[in-house]
Amino acid sequence: MALLQVNNISKSFGKKQILESADFQLATGEILGVFGRNGSGKSTLLTILFGTQTAKTGTIKINETQHSVRKHFWNKNPIVANELIGYLPQFSFLSQSSKVWDLIPRYFEGAAQDLIFRAPRMSKIANRKVNELSLGERRYLEVLIVGNLKHPFLLLDEPFSMVEPLFKGLIHEFLSSLKSKKGILLTDHYYQDVWQLADRNLVLKDGKLKTVNALEDLVNAGYLRSM
């Protein structure tokens, strides 16, 4: 089992405090749901953990190795280089003019490619260009790519947004199958999908992460309307 420990993450943009002493732990074998309204800092937190944005304070510890969050790492991010944290951003990271079957070898070699090509429905989209795919097909492909990386921890930012039911179901099944060997942080405004998949839940409000035990906690946090 691997353990990701996030401590005291703080981030401001000018005078606006986005994150304040954000803390959580994530172990392989579980899915952690993170809820929060637009602008609450969810995506900012994920990019800090991934290493493409700095924080004012905080540490990331993976097992016994600690990483600073006060430096930009970008492509030299030691977390990425050490194959520890994978990240699915809200925007598409795929070359839109490339055919699907040409993209897979850019990320995987040998037998690892088969995990993608043999996934459900992939045979129907492998010969098409990315810009010819529906939103659901494209997002499913992106989740497959990120999920099959060697990284033990995954950060998934809005994997269900605008995804049609067929591919939403396939993403559900895939993430459930990954849980035995990875730790997954999942955030999406399609909150019912997150609620269904997550083992534990947090809500980000006023820059701090708070434990969510029931949907009523999301109402009290101002994330959901009264139920």
Q: Is the pLDDT of residue 56 over 50?
A: yes
Predicted confidence (pLDDT) per residue in 14-34, tens digit: 888 999 999 999 999 999 999
CA distance 30 to 2: 11
Domains in the chain and their CATH numbers? 3-220 (3.40.50.300)
Task: Let me know the angle formed at the C-alpha of 77 by 112 and 63, rounded to the nearest 5 degrees.
Answer: 75
Q: Which DSSP state fits 134?
A: -
Q: What is the pTM of this model?
A: 0.92
Indicate the DSSP class of residue 99. B
Sequence-distant contacts of 190-197: CB under 8 A, at least 24 apart: 190/160, 190/161, 191/35, 191/218, 191/223, 191/224, 193/160, 193/168, 194/33, 194/35, 195/33, 196/172, 197/31, 197/33, 197/172
Q: How many residues does the chain have?
A: 227
Q: For the CA atoms of the chain, what is the radius of gyration? A: 17
pLDDT of 69 reads: 72
